[in-house]
Amino acid sequence: MSKKLKKSSLQMAAEAAEAYVPVDEDFVLDVDQDIQTDKNYASQGFWKGVITRFFKNARAVIGLVIIVLIIILAVIGPHTSGHGYAEVIKVENASGKKVLARSIPPRVPGLHKLFTGEEYEDDFAESTFLFGTDTMGRDLWTRVWYGARVSLIIAFVTIIIDMIIGMSYGLISGFFGGFTDIGMQRFVEVANSVPRLVIVGVLATFMPKGIWLVIVALLLTEWIGMSKIARAEMLKIKEQEYIMASRTLGANNFTIIFRDVLPNTIGPIITQIMFSIPTAIFTEAFLSFVGVGIVLPQCSIGSLISDGFTNITTLPYQILPPIIVLALLMLAFNFVGDGVREALAPRIEDM
Amino acid sequence: MKRMKAIVVAVLALAMVAALCACGNKGGDTPQGSGAADGGAAKGMTYTLIYGNNEGDEVALVAQSLKDQWEEAFPDVTINLQPMTKSERLEKMQNDNYTIALTRWGPDYADPMTYLGMWVTDAPNNYGFWSNPEYDAIIKSASSGELAGDYDARWAALYDAEEMVMKDAVITPLYTKANANLIADGVQGVEFHPVALNRVYKRATCPSGTMNVMFSTNVMSLDTNLATDGDSFEVIADCIDGLTQMDAEGAAQPAIAESWDISDDQMTYTFHLRKDAVWNNGTPVTAKDFEFAWKLSMTANVEYNYMFDNTVACVKNADAILYEGADPETLGVKALDDYTLEVQLEAPVSFFPSLMYFPTFYPINQAFYEQVGADNYGTSPETFLSNGAFVLSEYTPGTASPKVVKNPNYYDAASVTLNGINYQVVDGSDNALTAFKNGTLDISVISGDQVGAVEKDATLSKNLNVTGAGYMWYVTFSQTKNQDSNGDFANTDLRLAFANAIDREFLVDNYVMDGSLPTFTCVPPQFAASATTGEDFSADQSRFKEYCDYNLESAQAHFADAKAALGY
Amino acid sequence: MALITLLIITFLLFLLVRIMPGNPFPAERMSAAAIAKKRAEMGLDNPMLVQFWNYIKNLIASGSFGNGSALYNGAPISSVLPVAMSNSFRIGGISICFGVIVGLILGIAAALNRGKFWDVFCTVLSIVGVCVPSYVFMIFLQYFFSYKIPAFPFYFDSARFLHSAIMPALSLSLFSMSTVARFTRNEMVEVMDSDYVLLASSKGMYGTKLVTKHILRNALIPIVTVIAPLIVDLLTGALVVEKIYGINGIGKLMVDSITGEGVDYNYVLALGILYSTLYIGIMLVLDIAYGLLDPRIRVAGNKEG
């Protein structure tokens, strides 16, 4: 506003003291640069803003791209090598002996020839194993992506169900407060204190080992974090005026909890989900490591890591792909989690 | 705005569900790992193979390979794998709640009976619940009946008994485990034994004086009555001498007993004890210590007191005490004076002197045992007495690194050159190899791919030394109908079909890899020698090959018979 | 209240452990009759409530967790647990101190130098720390600093405790370090943007005093929440690292008592009680720490109570 304006035609007219007929020029903003004005935006929905902000965050987008890529590979990867995840690759060689393709380091015959000018000299000279083969003689490329698929299924199923259980539990506990809250929180303490190995062991008496056992075991332990977040949010929100307004209008507890409060806790919950998925994958890896995870010949990222671990310095190529996939997944979900959190609670400087 | 929110939530949820379904459709179709054999598999011939997931790295590979081989040989069959801890596996087998199990057995003493005794009706290890009165009669006669005295006839009868087991495919032997040891340069004189004690160090030398040795499990107990595992036995045998000891070939040599007399009917042994043997608290080792230890074992309700009964040592009245509640004082062992021990047997036992180096028969000093209390005995160097070549210097239950040092008061201390042994529990073969290369271990045991890597390495391969580990891995089938099994394996043809479909050489070459021996007899080779000829009981592995050799034609024929008989 | 919770936890564990598969007396050579006799000796034939009453009575009267059944062939738990506890607590303690201190410093440095080298370094470290499992890091350390460069013992040696505790403590601290660093940074950034810090700085407050008195104090509250469960986890042992490095600790004991020779009821119970006591105790301490750090909670708490 401090800019000095040119003498306007109006002023000139006043000086001339005669009736002034406006000319077109009068209606043109005659400044040599933009004057500072408030910009008016079309009103933007909260979620639209969140999404815009999310996609402006380079790390979050990278994370999302990695996740999408891994999901795509997990879906199509196992079908691209021509070997099944449980298929033990063996051939009968010229002398009639059964030869197993076990512990073959990654090989692409074409590339090998291109760079070294040599060809492989064993019974699998023509075969391509992008990640090599494992000690059983199976293609690791197939198994890694199959394992990623299993791990992701486990993670998504547990997190979705945990979200439902944990959120309801936390919201109810926080909403009613008092003795209900104390009782429910003591129950959380109890549930949290039972070692995971005991839970898995007890479950194993009721159901066969495998994916579903891992999922149920994770269900029983992972909801606690979710419930804590939901409870904290509920404690924050339930004092707000609109809840009181809703109550005055005759809404019952159920409506208040699930219609009025729930939608407003969705932000922290989504953030928590993003951080819980890697935890679930990690926990599954731990269970596989202790030997109560996925049942062979099926595999998960965790079981592949624990298999590869037995030969970590002798055959390091066996553990690298699953560890890298795990690390990428963790990284990506952390990025996305951070991105979602920042998008939901933007700081002034970011806007 | 509210509608926008709802839409976004719905879209997010939908996206997740969609991603899941995309994966689920293709991934979740085989929840129990039916693997390769799809299509016509589901005619009900689905069996579960249980195996231990804490019993060595190669076990899971072997189990998967069995599944693979069986499913390949019989397209109608689906095998599900169920891994579990060893203790869970044993519980399932003992309660007859399984179909097929991958299990193992190590010899407790140098006689085929340690295996053949397992398949007697109602024996605790008869997991197939197989029963054959004729077989029971042979075993009974051979262990404590009229065959017991005639060593050659007994040997021949045991072959007959073995054939009954093999012919019925009660079990299917897979391989006899070997240990691929890496031994550091300059380490000499360590004796490796497949029976009872794994390694003996009395005559070993090591350049540094103190040897670092790998263990694969924790030492579970140093109480000779309670110990059950090889690693515990090894430490016990370092520290305590029994009546006899093993020489490099595994034959019984004098230890605490300088000599022994055997009566003409071979049913009374009189051991003459040496007078210079002392416990490391200064008290002499006497015949009373043996009598106390043996009688203690009778009352303690412990796993290994079966070694006294009529299936093994046949010590007089042991059966009556253990199974009929007779007075433990009536046990046929008596200290005639401080240095003479008389043992009476119910029947001649050809391998009795060699039994005496098994820890269950070791002495315990009564005064000391009662002073520290039964609960605490053997839980620390202070609560443990030694009369052998080494003294316990560092140990708490659960420690990963027990240590023993040379015993200056040992009667034969002059011939012991080692200053001590440091044990180290090592988790995994890969770690064992690195620790050996690092010089942390002088003796380490490797398996699987590490053996392959060492064999390719010009310098390391010189340190490789394969020795028999004694125990045999085998497959057993539940022949009864139970919660988990529909009783199909009561059909002998089915068992024979499964036995004939396993390529044991392939299994050992590709998955076990540590020099283990493919085995075709239900008594493994290399541990039981004849009392008269010295010949290994199972040296001839071709004896029962028709029942368990890898022969797909025969397997298919048996399978077709079984299928018809079972109505599939 | 805490005691009642503990009692309930104990009872639950008591029931669960008896449902678990696996034999408390792993005896391949024992006849069914001998096993039955052994069960009777251990009192496992009594009704569950009687067993539980006896257990609690024994626990309170003599303060002992009883004897094992499968693990270490019935050695008294009192001869096993203290050693394991001391190993795990000391290594866990070192790794917590190291992780929290380094994490705090890194987080503060990152927040104060937003967008510069320390910030990037802290971000990279926290990502690596969260993504790489501690046992993988342990293997790397073992491979490079015991094998390639033999600076540290290859296996844990209680005679040279500090020397051999460094590698496992370091590998365990990585996770807590990166979590703390990341949280500290985020919280500090949030606090630094808040109005009261703006006010404080506009009143002329700057430098160390501003950071410690206003920023850090407020940023610490959520950080304490993150640290508490980490402490319990680290103190109760990291079983894979303990297994690899041959440490006789609580984590390994837990796995051994469940997946070892048999399922040892008394060991699982003792360890479970230990774990929940620690957990509940640390949560109590956490509540107190909240009050010290945040006067508002103290006031609000008094009002409610």
Q: Map chain C to HEC letters.
A: CHHHHHHHHHHHHHHHHHHCCCCCCCCCCCCHHHHHHHHHHHCCCCCHHHHHHHHHHHHHHHCCCCECCCHHHHCEHHHCHHHHHHHHHHHHHHHHHHHHHHHHHHHHHHHHCCCCHHHHHHHHHHHHHHHCCHHHHHHHHHHHHHHHCCCCCCCCCHHHHHHHHHHHHHHHHHHHHHHHHHHHHHHHHHHHCCHHHHHHHHCCCCHHHHHHHHHHHHHHHHHHHHHHHHHHHHHCCCHHHHHHHCCCCHHHHHHHHHHCCCCCHHHHHHHHHHHHHHHHHHHHHHHHHHHHHCHHHHHHHHHHC
* Interface contact B344, partner C, CB < 8 A: no
Over residues B434-467, the pLDDT tens digits come to: 889 888 889 999 988 889 889 888 888 898 988 8
Q: What is the pLDDT of residue B284?
A: 92
Chains A–C, number of C-beta pairs less than 8 Å apart: 88
* Interface contact B438, partner C, CB < 8 A: yes
Q: Say how many CA atoms lie within 13 Å of B195 toward its Cβ.
A: 28
Q: Using CA atoms, how far apart are residues B146 and B157, in angstroms rounded to an integer?
A: 12
Q: Are strands B78-84 and B46-52 parallel, antiparallel or unpaired?
A: parallel
Using the predicted structure, report yes or no on whether residue A280 has a pLDDT greater than 70.
yes
Q: What is the pLDDT of residue B515?
A: 86
Q: Does the beta-carbon distance from C8 to A285 stay under 8 Å? A: no
Q: Does the beta-carbon distance from B301 to C263 stay under 8 Å? A: no
- Coil vs helix vs strand at A275: helix
* Interface contact B379, partner C, CB < 8 A: yes
Q: What is the pLDDT of residue B294?
A: 92
Confidence of residue B111 (pLDDT cuts 50, 70, 90): confident
**Range among A169-178, A330-339, B325-334, C1-10 rated most confident:** B325-334
Nearest CB to A210; choose among B31, B65, B428: B31
Q: What is the pLDDT of residue A34?
A: 62
Chain C interface mutation, best of B93, B108, B223, B399, highest count of C Cβ atoms under 10 Å: B399
Confidence of residue B390 (pLDDT cuts 50, 70, 90): very high
Q: Using CA atoms, how far apart are residues C235 and C256, in angstroms rounded to an integer?
A: 17
Q: What is the pLDDT of residue B270?
A: 94
Using the predicted structure, report yes or no on whether residue B113 has a pLDDT greater than 60.
yes
Q: Which residues of chain C neighbour B396 with C-beta distances below 8 Å? A: 79-80, 83, 248
Over residues B47-104, the pLDDT tens digits come to: 889 998 878 788 888 999 999 899 988 888 888 888 888 888 888 888 888 999 999 9
Q: What is the pLDDT of residue C181?
A: 86
Average pLDDT of the residues in B209-224 = 88
Q: Which residues of chain B neighbour A51 with C-beta distances below 8 Å? A: 8
Q: Which of A199-213, B17-31, B327-341, C119-133 has the lowest mean pLDDT?
A: B17-31
Q: Using CA atoms, how far apart are residues B59 and B429, in angstroms rounded to an integer?
A: 13
> C21, B88 in Cβ contact below 8 A?
yes
Selected residue with higher pLDDT from A125 and C142:
C142
Q: Does the beta-carbon distance from C268 to A195 stay under 8 Å? A: yes
Confidence of residue B371 (pLDDT cuts 50, 70, 90): very high
Chain B interface mutation, best of C23, C156, C247, highest count of B Cβ atoms under 10 Å: C23
Distance in Å, alpha carbon of B466 to nearest chain A alpha carbon: 20
Q: Are strands B340-344 and B333-337 parallel, antiparallel or unpaired?
A: antiparallel
> A195, A137 in Cβ contact below 8 A?
no
Nearest CB to C16; choose among A202, A305, A312: A202
Nearest CB to C21; choose among A186, A204, A349: A204
Q: Using CA atoms, how far apart are residues B476 and B522, in angstroms rounded to an integer?
A: 11
Q: What is the pLDDT of residue B33?
A: 38
For residue B150, give both structure tokens. 């005639």
Using the predicted structure, report yes or no on whether residue A191 has a pLDDT greater than 50.
yes
What percent of chain B stands above pLDDT 70? 92
User: Using CA atoms in the order C131, C135, C136, C141, what is the torsion angle rounded to 10 degrees?
Assistant: 120
Q: What is the pLDDT of residue B24?
A: 44
Average pLDDT of the residues in B392-406 = 88
Q: What is the pLDDT of residue A42?
A: 62
Average pLDDT of the residues in A51-57 = 81
- Domain positions in chain A are 50-78+142-350
Average pLDDT of the residues in B316-339 = 89
Q: Which residue from A minimizes the CA distance to B16?
A: A156
Q: What is the pLDDT of residue B474?
A: 93
Q: Using CA atoms, how far apart are residues A100 and B100, in angstroms rounded to an integer?
A: 25
Q: Which residues of chain B neighbour A156 with C-beta distances below 8 Å? A: 16, 19-20
Q: Does the beta-carbon distance from A290 to C255 stay under 8 Å? A: yes
- Coil vs helix vs strand at B307: helix
Please tell me what DSSP assigns to residue B332.
S
Using the predicted structure, report yes or no on whether residue A5 has a pLDDT greater than 80.
no
* Interface contact B541, partner C, CB < 8 A: no
- For C225-251, give one letter per residue: b (16+ CB within 10 A) or e: ebbbbbbbbbbbbbbbbbbbbbbbbbb
> C226, C180 in Cβ contact below 8 A?
yes
Chains B–C, number of C-beta pairs less than 8 Å apart: 135
Q: Using CA atoms, how far apart are residues C247 and C237, in angstroms rounded to an integer?
A: 10
Q: Which residues of chain C neighbour B94 with C-beta distances below 8 Å? A: 23, 32
Q: What is the pLDDT of residue A11?
A: 66
Please tell me what DSSP assigns to residue B451.
H
Angle, helices A46-56/B2-27, rounded to nearest 10 degrees: 50
- In this structure, whether the domain defined by A50-78+142-350 belongs to CATH 3.10.180.10 is answered with no
Chain A interface mutation, best of B30, B55, B64, B70, highest count of A Cβ atoms under 10 Å: B64
Quick one: which of C272, C261, C303, C185 has its CA closest to C23?
C261
Q: Which residue from A minimizes the CA distance to C11?
A: A190
Q: Using CA atoms, how far apart are residues C167 and C173, in angstroms rounded to an integer?
A: 10
Using the predicted structure, report yes or no on whether residue A41 has a pLDDT greater than 70.
no
Using the predicted structure, report yes or no on whether residue A271 has a pLDDT greater than 80.
no
Distance in Å, alpha carbon of A112 to nearest chain C alpha carbon: 29
- For C73-84, give one letter per residue: b (16+ CB within 10 A) or e: bbbbbbbbbebb
Please tell me what DSSP assigns to residue A137.
S
Global confidence as pTM? 0.83
Distance in Å, alpha carbon of B105 to nearest chain A alpha carbon: 22
The residue type found at A47 is W
Chain B interface mutation, best of A88, A289, A319, highest count of B Cβ atoms under 10 Å: A88
Backbone φ, ψ for residue C53 (5° rounding)? -60, -45
Distance in Å, alpha carbon of A334 to nearest chain C alpha carbon: 8
- For B528-543, give one letter per residue: b (16+ CB within 10 A) or e: bbbbeeeeebbeebee
Average pLDDT of the residues in B3-9 = 51
Using the predicted structure, report yes or no on whether residue B1 has a pLDDT greater than 70.
no
Backbone φ, ψ for residue B537 (5° rounding)? -60, -40
* Interface contact B399, partner C, CB < 8 A: yes
The residue written with tokens 């370091």 in the block is C170
Question: How far out from the chain centre does Cα B167 lie?
Answer: 24
The residue written with tokens 């000139």 in the block is A12
Which chains does chain B touch, 3 or more C-beta pairs < 8 A?
A, C
Which ranges of chain C have pLDDT less than 70?
205-207, 236-237, 294-305
